[in-house]
Structure 1
Amino acid sequence: MGRDVSARVFSREDRRIYRDKVRRCLDVFARLLRESRFGFDQPLVGLEIELNIVDARAEPTMRNAEVLNAIAQPDWATELGQFNVEINIPPHSFSGDGPRHLEDLVRQRLNLAEQTAASVGGHLVMIGILPTLKEDDVREGTLSANPRYRLLNEQIFAARGEDLHLEIDGVERLDTYADSITPEAACTSVQLHLQVTPEDFPAHWNAAQVIAGAQVAVGANSPYLFGKELWRETRISLFEQATDTRPAELKAQGVRPRVWFGERWITSVFDLFEENVRYFPALLPICEDEDPVEVVDRGETPELAELTLHNGTVYRWNRPVYAVVDGRPHLRVENRVLPAGPTVIDAVANAAFYYGLMRVLPYAERPIWTQMPFAVAADNLFTAARYGLDARIYWPDLGEVPAAELVLRRLLPLAYEGLDLWRVDPVVRDRLLGVIEGRCLAGVNGASWQAATAESYAGLGRGEALRRMTLDYVERMHGNEPVHTWDRPG
């Protein structure tokens, strides 16, 4: 969840002062790392889920303020578009029946929120990109009222100096322009958090980068945008383009995008924050009163507000997070590659697959990332986003193999081992990882189900086919049966 800010106009002096403050924060962050001040009692997990709001016809409705007022719970928040909301699940242990508790908690909160939203004419949908979304739904006038989003919109377009060019070649081709960042609101995701020590952070981040392609291949759920069938996980390409501060000339010069996979394996969490400061100008140069040097000299923990705000405007697919909890600094890896949905059990199964792998791969005697170039891991992500379960992904000792084969042969056994190390109840473990196995054996994930179901309605025309498919999707989403078991009506 992004930090709230006030509306304002930034001066050149604001930017200079902010740059100095961010660098001061970075120096203090390095000092905190050297002095080992970080808290860590046990590995904790948490997640955020972004959702769409639709009306009774499964078309987007701009009512997030009304829906949030009706829900009236602190763990719900606005997102970028007026047709978006977000729920934040607090950190907790993943051991024992933790995953089952997580599933129950999410289902209870979503069910209650759905009932409440329905009272104001809205319904919540967990899906990577809402298939019924039209270009007119993502304009500046449909940004949420939170000043943070208006400021981001202004600053990104001030940096670009021109409209956004959205161009995606997939099953079909999209080529259009946007005059605001609101197309980013089409991208709704599940974000998985894992608390780690500073010493263990590099291995965990590197491992998360390695498995990003496999995660997307099995979890893809975003095949449509503006009525066109594009990638299996179109969200990956759309998010990158919708927040791009670079005109074509800066892209040609090799300037890095703000939605970024990265360019190298790391040896310290400091590497990532230092890259942020070195490569990316401030979008929101807002300074707080805290002097981090004075705070740390007193033996207290600084918030490092400028550094964390800047980090929040660099959208890495695996992002480092610094936070202060009960007066102690904490570090988390925030995994951002997965779309929302299709069901709560699918989302928790995706989480179990990720957390299981993250309990094994970072501790391997010969780390997997030492056996493959960084660029290959990036290629795996984008290939998986384009083709989903039909992607061919590179893995050391196997070469390029079908994504489903990689998961079944190599990654699922590691995930089982990892959940055993978490001490997850075997019944819970088998149920969740069985969902991942079922998708691979059936060759079905959310994206392939959407495409096949829409095709069954093709005689009605594309727009009506997508609306009918979305209605079918919403009905099955509430049933909470894994997507690979869904039938295809029509």
Structure 2
Amino acid sequence: MGNTVFIPAATVAEQIKPALGRIQGHITAGSLKRPRIHSGQKGPARNIGAEWEVPLVHVRTGLPAWGTNGTIIGGVAEEAWRSTDPVSLQMELGSNLVEANFRPRPLELGTFTGMRAEMEGILGLLNRSCGHHGLAVVSTGILPTLATGKLNEGNFSAKPRYAVLTNALEQYLGARIRSGTIECGGEELPIGWCVATEIANTSIQFHEEVA
């Protein structure tokens, strides 16, 4: 893989802990009230949830594990059902991507500590399911082993909504989306006529419930 840096799955939880720790340190019950006051929102604290998108890779090569997210999610669902521990996973746009949805909880002191524990539990379930198929989870913004030529509709997850979204964008934007490019590390990446470039983007997002 040349100079590609591959992040072992075993280090994922340790990478995430400091970020959540910093968030926990900066957020207090008092500071969370101020944005609501300024925006005219009053009343009790809302709930907060999160979604976490992670790529699946082949352990031996570090390359994206295309077409595997349904299998891995199925394995997690079976284990979670046996343990009666609810977990919400779904297939993301790329067929090598899994999205985990965290349980909503009150936004207060200790919230992010609980979310970190939930994240570690989800990671454990994913890793166990991946282990049966020679796969691993890598938590990173853009997977270093992802080739631009793989960002195409052929690597979409098997969910109708992604094809519908692509068709809708093509009809709405027409030639404007077909002629666009993105510069990435000195290389121009064609946007093309679909949303396939979104396959390269993974993140963890925190969402606060608002009125």
Once residues 177 and 96 of structure 1 are traced to their aligned partners in structure 2, the CA distance between those partners, rounded to angstroms, is 42
RMSD: 2.3
Q: How far did residue 128 of structure 1 move?
A: 1.0
SS of aligned partner of 1:90:
coil
1:182 maps to which residue? 196
Cα distance between partner residues in 1 of 2:95 and 2:179? 20
2:76 paired residue number: 71
Q: Which amino acid aligns with 2:58?
A: D
Question: 1:297-319 deviations in whole A, cap 9, x for unaligned?
Answer: xxxxxxxxxxxxxxxxxxxxxxx
Evaluate the alpha carbon distance shift between residue 177 and residue 92 of structure 1 in structure 2; reply closer, same or farther with a 3 A threshold.
closer
TM-score by structure 1 length?
Answer: 0.30
Whether the 8 Å contact between 2:191 and 2:197 is mirrored in structure 1 is no
Distance 2:114 2:48 in 1: 12
State the shift of 1:149 in Å.
0.5
Q: How does 1:62-101 map to 2 (within 5 A)?
A: 62=66, 63-72=68-77, 74-101=87-114
Offset, 1:168: 1.8
Relative contact order, higher structure (CA 8 A, sep 6+): 2
Matched residue, 1:153: 166
Per-residue displacement from partner, 1:411-437 (whole Å, max 9, x unpaired)? xxxxxxxxxxxxxxxxxxxxxxxxxxx
2:130 maps to 1:125: no
Partner of 2:63: 59
The 3 A distance-change label for structure 1 pair 166 and 96 is same
Give the superposition deviation at 1:143: 0.8
1:111 Cα shift?
1.6
Separation of aligned partners in 1, 2:179 and 2:94: 17
Q: Percent identity?
A: 25
Q: Is the counterpart of residue 193 in structure 1 residue 198 in structure 2?
A: no
Kindly indicate which of the two structures has a greater share of residues assigned to helix.
Answer: 1
Say how many residue pairs are matched: 159
Higher Rg = 1
Q: Per-residue displacement from partner, 1:54-91 (whole Å, max 9, x unpaired)?
A: 11111101111111111115500111110111000011
User: What are structure 1's unaligned runs of at least 5 residues?
Assistant: 1-37, 197-330, 332-490
Shift of 1:144: 0.9
Q: 1:195 to 1:181 in 2, by over 3 A?
A: closer
Amino acid at match of 2:73: L
The aligned runs of 1:462-477 (5 Å cut-off) are none
Shift of 1:156: 1.0
Write the distance in 1 (CA, Å) between the matches of 2:98 and 2:202.
9
Unaligned runs of 5+ in 2: 1-40, 81-86
Is 1:43–2:57 an aligned residue pair? no
Per-residue Cα deviation, 1:332-372 (whole angstroms, up to 9, x for no partner):
xxxxxxxxxxxxxxxxxxxxxxxxxxxxxxxxxxxxxxxxx
Q: Secondary structure at the match of 2:165?
A: helix
Label 1:48 to 1:39 Cα distance change in 2 as closer, same or farther (>3 A): farther
Amino acid at match of 2:49: G
SS class of match (2:154): helix
Contact 2:166–2:193, Cα closer than 8 Å, also in 1: no
CA separation in 2, counterparts of 1:39 and 1:78?
A: 36
Shift of 1:44: 2.1
Q: Is contact 1:139–1:179 with CA below 8 Å preserved after alignment?
A: no
- Scaled by the length of structure 2, the TM-score of the pair is 0.67
**Within 5 A, what are the aligned runs for 1:473-484?**
none
Q: Is 1:167 equivalent to 2:170 in the alignment?
A: no
